[in-house]
Amino acid sequence: MNLDSLTHTSGEWLRGSGPESDIVISTRIRLARNLASYPFSNRASNYQKGEIEALLRECIAKLDLPPKLGYFTLPTLSTLDRQFLVERQLISRELASADGPRGVALVPQETVSVMVNEEDHLRLQVMRSGFALDESWQQIDKVDDLLEQRLNYAFSDEFGYLTACPTNVGTGMRASVMLHLPALEHTKQIDKVFRALQKINLAVRGLYGEGSRASGHFYQISNQVTLGKSETTILTEIHGVIPQIITYERQARASWLRDNRQGLMDKISRAHGTLCSATMMTSEETMELLSFVRLGINLQLIEDLTIPTVNELFIHTQPAHLQKLMGTSLDGEERNAARARYLRTRLREAGAHSN
């Protein structure tokens, strides 16, 4: 497996066919783990990080998992390729920009990735299309068990799994669901939803997790507390909240369509028309316009264009993806022109039109 082969494909989590996929883009579960015999990554020397990476790389290679995980050594990758993996949600921005020995293992479908020497020695991640918490948990639990058979994790009988950041101690688990919420944002109900989530210790973040802002009406909702709660309890809490948000968003979409159908159709048609004709397009503008096109498809106001295609366009128009697709390095203005050209071509090929 090489990164160039991933450029022209999209991961399983983008296929748009998982449960509740009109609103839920993807489900992700991440586990933080550390080796008992080494200092945390922020305290380890480069020599120790090298030992950790060699040990973990060998262990990952021996995992009895179909399909096998391919491994990439981060320092050998270009800045562009590292950014490509961030845009793909396969590594964190922190791992991309860190120093010293580090790497990532992943399967071709991009459902599983294992980061080595991020904030913790190991960050396991499983991603699935749609609202698939249980499936994601079963898969990551299996990977974790296979690794734990070969490794001595840093674990306390009192506190649970020990992590570099105290907020991850305990289960070491972050479960997050990425939602597309244009109608709740339009009706100004989104802040009320977020305040309610914060009261039950659920965090709301942007497309790329902690520190990122919402773009294209995408929001990640995840647990904040890992200590003193079991994995099952955390998953149950998220299971209890997400269906309510899905219901609110569907109700808001129905109200918008009922009360101002002409205005909504105009907004969606203008978004689609701009994407089909613009000669310059920024990442932010693309996300905003594609968000309305995605809404239009789900409301059956746009024909001949599929959700997987739009999901793919969200990713393929990100800066690193665009440069890899074009096969050349591009500055900001060149990217904006190439992005618009790429969008025009893809949408013309799809032959989509508004109702």
Split the chain (355 residues) into runs of 10 and give each run's mean pLDDT: 80 88 95 97 96 97 89 96 95 95 95 97 97 97 96 96 95 96 92 88 74 74 91 94 95 96 96 97 95 96 91 94 95 96 93 58
Of the residues 197, 229, 252, the one at which a domain ends: 252
Residue 215's pLDDT is 76
Residue 13's pLDDT is 86
Residue 155 and residue 162 in contact, taking contact as beta carbons nearer than 8 Å: yes
Is the same domain home to 111 and 175?
A: yes
Residue 194's pLDDT is 87
Cα separations in angstroms, 33 against 302, 306, 327: 45, 38, 37
pTM surpassing 0.85? yes
Is the same domain home to 184 and 88?
A: yes
Of the residues 218, 252, 286, the one at which a domain ends: 252
Is the same domain home to 245 and 316?
A: no
Residue 214's pLDDT is 61
CATH number for position 213: 3.30.590.10
Is the same domain home to 64 and 121?
A: yes
| Distance separating alpha carbons of residues 134 and 138, to the nearest angstrom | 6
Is the same domain home to 226 and 97?
A: yes
Is the same domain home to 220 and 280?
A: no
**Residue from 44, 55, 59, 29 nearest 171 by CA:** 29
Question: In terms of residue numbers, what domain contains 168?
Answer: 3-252
Is the same domain home to 121 and 233?
A: yes
Provide DSSP, 240-282.
HHHHHHHHHHHHHHHHHHHH-HHHHHHHHHHHHHHHHH-S---
Residue 246's pLDDT is 96
Is the same domain home to 181 and 318?
A: no
Residue 17's pLDDT is 86
